[in-house]
Amino acid sequence: MAPHDLLRAFDALPGHLAVLRAVPGFPVVAMSRTLQAMSAAPAHVLGRPLFELFPEAPQAPGSAAILQAAFEHVIRTRRPERHEQRFDLVDPASGRFEERYWSMVNTPILDDAGAVEYILHQAEDAATERRHGSMAILDAMTEGVFTLDRQWRFGYVNPEAHRILRAEPGSLAGAVIWERFPGSGNSAFSEHYRQTMHGRVATRFTAFYPGLEGWYEVTVYPAPEGISVYFRDVTARVLAEQDRERLAAESKHQRRIYETALDNTPDFVYVFGTDHRAIYANQALLRVWGVDDVRGKTWLDLGYEPWHADMHDRELAEVIATRAPIRGEIPFTGTNGRRIYDYIFAPVFDAAGAIVAVAGTTRDITERQAAERIIREHAQRLAEADRAKDDFLATLSHELRNPLAPIRYGLEILRASTESGGQQARIHSMMERQVDHLVRLVDDLMEVSRITRGKVSLQVEPVTLADVVDSAIEASRPAIEAGQHGLTLDLPATPVVVHGDRVRLAQILGNLLNNAARYSAPGGHVVLRARVADGAVILSVEDSGVGMEAEEIPRLFEMFSRGERTRASHQGGLGIGLALARRLAVLHGGSLDAVSDGPGKGSTFTLRLPLHGTDAAPSSWSDDIDTTRLLLRVLVADDEADVGGSLAEALRLSGAEVHLVENGGDALREFDRIEPDVAILDIGMPHVTGYDVARTLRERGVRTPLIALTGWGQAEDRERAFAAGFDHHLVKPVAMPMLVDLLASIEHATRATAVAQAPPEPAATLVHDTPG
């Protein structure tokens, strides 16, 4: 390719790229348009030396020398090189140099003879790269990372840094490093940190800090706000290296033998006589031992340490005595680290059956054992990550349930004062359905691991297709309207009934509609069709969106997979929606598939569900207000004023006499005075928890029914509640009809028990009150 053709090709590439000849001056062969625009002569870059196009700023002397040294390092080593440095550029508007920091990667391009002919230079603004770097990635790094500003105060500190420095999470932010870690101000750490801070050059060192009694490998980079420090605890490695160095000093000859063996073959073959002297060794082993003839030599003669030679002599004696092979493994720390060897000694018999020698083979099995260990460690890390994920999801769902509870109770209160059939009643019904959706989605957070295994419980009932479609459209309407999409419905004229979970079916269809809206350009069109065929209802969602390649379709339904089209359309999301939709479809005995004619040609998702096979009437969203009247005295304890207050007011509308307290201590103090028929207790109250209240009441002998109403809803949470003495465990936000029904059943059971335990009265004393 001619230079001008190469320049035109690079002209269209994104980013700051250049191809330089690996000769003095580093003339430009090709350069991207963005980098040309930053040069001193944007229209005349071809063939010109790089530093003519990008002169060194007077206020940053040495910056060109650093970059030139990087190029020379690439030419010398023929290996890629990466570094960060300051290199100021001229501001076209003011004509003055502007301070800039860059992350640079220089990659060699070799000619046929293996020499560096060109250098591919890539530069990225360091501040931009930091913005692009996800904080989550830094948090997950196995290295400690922290930043220091020019006043030596900690800025960002990742979790690994807190762990290595033995500091509580968040405790280092804003602290001055020299004050937080006494003694570091007059150490190698201070020297290198100040060198990078003032000289704006990266440094790398390993040093010992007495305050933590550890060795640390540290890399320091200049940053606009100060410096960035990457480090790891290498105490174990340094001590191991010191041990290896001592061993190497004591046994230099043996180390040289083992290095030769490892460089040539993994297997050694040898034969020793019954006198424990060598008879034969193959060429690989001869090269290792450094002898031309091993005959007559003992283990000690061949350079083995006494303990090692003694061990093998005992094994040779055992093989000769038992006439049976022996196998063993032995660790060895050599120049390439600690290795594990597997060896076999076997008896050699003559024609008469007498043992005349012992043959042996040795093989390096370090990689095999390392692979097995990595698999075990990886499994352990996955298990720990899964537990951490479960804990996080449990906490998140708890925090989401608390604000949902007063919303649900408030809606119940508003419904009691709203005439049925009116616009407000319809709005209340819509809001209640959406709260129900939110509650089910919060429950999904608790069940992600169950979802991946297909273990989602369904509330199966006959349900009309129209109800499912209405709910799905209602849930996805914000996304459709936000994209200004048109929505066309093509549904059967006669009612269609399927057998399934209403909310889950609406969730499947809502996910498909949201997906169509998300991946269609503004002003697109979405079509929802349904038809009945072959004993099934077939729903399809067609969009005019970005489409996809055929090979991408199977990955769409994998958990946490977002696909190429997500990156192309810059859409976010966790990649759960379509995977969950397909699993839910399968649980309903159906299927979910997708087709597309290619990128830019839209997509069609087809959901197939079996028709309902019984004559049971489908249920529908209920707009009726529960009319159950309670005659109970109820104690409610919740430290969240909105939650407790709204619940109390909703229960009063059902006829209950409600006494509200805001903490567990008040619940215990007021219990005997109130003498409630039932107590509803939040679990997570400060100081005195719901568990504490339940245990104390049960220890007093109180048998009043206790209901735990909490945001913690995992199986272990229910078991803990029952163990503390609760009779019932409900998860916020509980549906008021369900709670009222439970209280009514408690009231009925209490009255039935009272009647059964009351002594019979003489018939003559019975008095029947009459109204009036």
pLDDT in the model for residue 663: 93
Q: What is the pLDDT of residues 653-663, one digit of tens each?
A: 889 999 999 99
The answer to whether residue 434 is domain-embedded is no
**Nearest Cα residue to 176 out of 226, 235, 222, 233:** 226
Residues contacting residue 240 through CB under 8 Å, at least 6 positions apart:
333, 338
Structure tokens, 277: 């002297």
Instruction: For residues 76 and 111, state if they share a domain.
Output: yes
Instruction: For residues 36 and 56, state if they share a domain.
Output: yes
Residue 254: pLDDT band (50, 70, 90) is: low
pLDDT in the model for residue 92: 79
Q: Which of 323-337, 579-593, 676-690, 723-737 has the highest mean pLDDT?
A: 676-690
Domain boundary among 329, 364, 399: 364
Domain boundary among 311, 346, 364: 364
pLDDT in the model for residue 621: 43
Instruction: For residues 562 and 688, state if they share a domain.
Output: no
DSSP secondary structure letters along 339-371: EEEEEEEEEEE-TTS-EEEEEEEEEE-HHHHHH
Domain boundary among 312, 331, 364: 364
- Rounded to the nearest angstrom, the gap between the alpha carbon of residue 147 and the centroid of all alpha carbons in its chain is 24
To which H or E segment does residue 17 belong?
A: strand 16-21
Lowest mean pLDDT among 89-93, 474-478, 745-749, 753-757: 753-757
Instruction: For residues 606 and 712, state if they share a domain.
Output: no
Report the pLDDT averaged over residues 134-163.
86
Q: At 315, which CATH number?
A: 3.30.450.20
187: exposed, middle or buried (C-beta count within 10 Å: 0-12, 13-18, 19+)?
A: middle
Instruction: For residues 215 and 268, state if they share a domain.
Output: no
What is the number of structural domains in the chain? 5
Residue 630: pLDDT band (50, 70, 90) is: confident
pLDDT of 118 above 90:
yes
pLDDT in the model for residue 133: 54
The answer to whether residue 753 is domain-embedded is yes
Structure tokens, 344: 């076999």
d(CA 544, CA 567): 18
Q: What is the pLDDT of residues 481-500, one digit of tens each?
A: 888 999 999 999 888 888 88
Instruction: For residues 649 and 726, state if they share a domain.
Output: yes
CB-side neighbour CA atoms (13 Å) of 246: 5
The domain of 472 spans 458-610
What sign has the CA pseudo-torsion 268, 271, 276, 279?
negative
Q: At 558, which CATH number?
A: 3.30.565.10
Tell me how crowded residue 404 is: count the other CB atoms within 10 A of its CB. Answer: 18
Answer whether 207's CB lies under 8 Å from 193's CB.
no
Instruction: For residues 175 and 208, state if they share a domain.
Output: yes
To which H or E segment does residue 722 belong?
A: helix 715-724
Q: At 689, which CATH number?
A: 3.40.50.2300
The answer to whether residue 585 is domain-embedded is yes
Mean pLDDT of the chain: 82
Residue 734: pLDDT band (50, 70, 90) is: confident
Q: What is the pLDDT of residues 435-486, one digit of tens each?
A: 766 766 666 666 555 565 555 567 778 888 888 999 889 888 888 888 899 9
Determine the 3-state secondary structure of 271 from DSSP: strand
The answer to whether residue 393 is domain-embedded is no
Residue 259: pLDDT band (50, 70, 90) is: very low
Instruction: For residues 155 and 92, state if they share a domain.
Output: no
Instruction: For residues 500 and 572, state if they share a domain.
Output: yes
pLDDT in the model for residue 764: 42
Q: Which amino acid, one-letter code, is at 148?
A: L
To which H or E segment does residue 144 belong?
A: strand 144-149
- Rounded to the nearest angstrom, the gap between the alpha carbon of residue 679 and the centroid of all alpha carbons in its chain is 40
The answer to whether residue 287 is domain-embedded is yes
Q: Which of 300-304, 373-377, 692-696 has the highest mean pLDDT?
A: 692-696
Structure tokens, 612: 């309902």
- Rounded to the nearest angstrom, the gap between the alpha carbon of residue 53 and the centroid of all alpha carbons in its chain is 45
Q: Which of the two residues, 174 and 564, has the higher pLDDT score?
A: 174
d(CA 356, CA 358): 7
Residue 285: pLDDT band (50, 70, 90) is: confident
Instruction: For residues 78 and 218, state if they share a domain.
Output: no
The answer to whether residue 772 is domain-embedded is no
pLDDT in the model for residue 106: 94
Instruction: For residues 597 and 647, state if they share a domain.
Output: no
The answer to whether residue 426 is domain-embedded is no
Tell me how crowded residue 766 is: count the other CB atoms within 10 A of its CB. Answer: 7
pLDDT of 568 above 50:
no
Report the pLDDT averaged over residues 55-75.
92
The answer to whether residue 394 is domain-embedded is no
Instruction: For residues 143 and 155, state if they share a domain.
Output: yes
